[in-house]
Amino acid sequence: MLAASLLVLTGCVATQENIEQNRAELKQVNRNIANLEKSITDQISSHCQQDKQDNQELAKQLAMAITEQQSSVKVNATEPEVVYIERCSIKDKKTNVHTNKLLLGSVETVFLSKEKLSVDARIDTGAVTSSIGVYNETTFERDGEDWLRFSLTKSTGAKTYEYPVYRIIRIIQQTSKEKNRRPVVKLKFMLGGKSYTAEFSLADRDHLQYQILLGREFLRDIAIVDVSSEHLLGRK
């Protein structure tokens, strides 16, 4: 017995409505084919005395009828909407989305306004506060307030600078569990052509490569750091 149905495959993705319509049409075709098959089978049975050629002719007619039924089915399919998602970089090549922020390397030059000095600074987002290395630090009182006097070089006769103590902080270093109290002053400086005022703790940085460290309290909201580069703002 010949197959009673045909599964039609297409390369398109049909919508739900079209799928339901196609199913209904295929069911009708299957019913028509089944009726034709029964009719031809009955004819073959009733003419069993006929020769083989007549039976072959009837089978051929059945095959042609099935083909006509199959060709009458049109599967309506629609192309799916193409959605292309491109992963873009944070920083567009044409438009700098960071126009309000400084792009800093791991080392940048800081110009201290009052002291008229250019000093390389370590840019460190891992440090909370900024710090500056000083020498010959002494404390004195002025108008009932605590002040500090210090120099930025350890040479004999180095120029000294005076600042009021803004606050005192306690530092716990990774290499020691002891708490170190440090005075904090406010310094004005230039970075990337802009003027800033930030808090700096006074520290002994003589054993470190850079005299100034800029921590994340200053960097937050004003700068982005590329740790793989240095002096992105240029040397001055």
pLDDT tens digits along 59-96: 667 667 666 665 555 444 443 443 333 333 344 433 34
Q: Per the structure block, which two tokens stand in for 92? A: 């567009």
Report the C-alpha dihedral over residues 227, 183, 144, 136, rounded to 10 degrees.
-100
C-alpha 177/C-alpha 171 separation (Å) is 10
Positions of E strands within 62-129: 102-105, 107-112, 117-123
> Which DSSP helix (H) or strand (E) runs through 194?
strand 194-203
Find where tokens 């605590």 sit. 146
Which pTM does this prediction carry? 0.57
What does the alpha-carbon distance between residue 66 and residue 126 come to, in Å, rounded to a whole number? Answer: 78
The tens-digit pLDDT sequence of the chain (236 residues) is: 444 443 333 333 445 566 667 677 777 777 777 777 777 767 666 655 555 566 666 666 766 766 666 555 544 444 344 333 333 334 443 334 445 889 999 999 999 999 999 999 999 999 999 999 999 999 999 999 999 999 999 888 899 999 999 999 988 766 666 668 899 999 999 999 999 999 999 998 989 999 999 999 999 989 999 999 999 998 76
